Structure 1
Amino acid sequence: MTNLPQETAAATEDNVSPRTSAALRAAMDRLLAGQPLRTDGRLIKTNLWKEAGVSRATMNRATVVMAEWDSRVIAAGGLSAREARVTHELEEVRRQLATQIRECTDLKRQLDAAATAIAALHHDNTLLRQAHAQHGSLTDLSQYRSEH
């Protein structure tokens, strides 16, 4: 075996330099924490190499880091902290929307019932006016209202 410099020996262990491994791990930590600097924060490999500032090929050579990435993404459920927060907020908004839809449905039922009652009263009032017109006279009640 030849005598390789320390950095070269470390680089051959994971096929990338320690500096590249550190950049990929820092990018991984930022993405998983929901604090990306250069990407939209989704937990995808494209964002990892862009966030680390390395090429896709370099990232793919870092097999140990990539195995760590895969296990951490699986442990995170495939969602960054920001994505998990947004997903939670979306679920909450959906629950609120469902509540509002139920309330609107109830109010529509009440409105329909009120409209039906008003129509029935209007019909009764019309019949009473017709019956009164045939058999009696109407009295203006406004004079009595102002006195009392």
Structure 2
Amino acid sequence: MPVSAATETKLREAMARLLAGEPLHTDGALTKENLAREAKVSHATVHRAEEILAEWDARVARPVLRTPGEVQRDETIADLRSRLREANTRATELQGKLDALATVTANLYYENLELKKKASARRQSRVTALPASGPWLE
């Protein structure tokens, strides 16, 4: 089902603005989605305009080139994301070790308290009063 003449005009004007780098309603990226947004029509309407789509594909078939600055920026972002992922993995690993050590420390602390109680009880039971008389006094 072809599109109306008014819609075709909107699409051609939107295509001209995008190709000239003067978009009014989008970020200017040369995509079919932006063509629809620039023309203020639905994405489905763009796909029904077969003649305009063929013209769009012929003019935009080339890859969008990035400036050296954009390439450097994207490489830096990719590197930083990779380093952040590694740092997060390392932090998670270290947090797990820290949690394990805290658990071991708490267990040792309570074992130490129990051993001190037992040692104190043994010392108290060993110390008894000696009789006032006996062979040890001679």
What TM-score do you get using the length of structure 1 for normalisation? 0.46
* Structure with more relative contact order (C-alpha pairs < 8 Å, separation 6 or more): 1
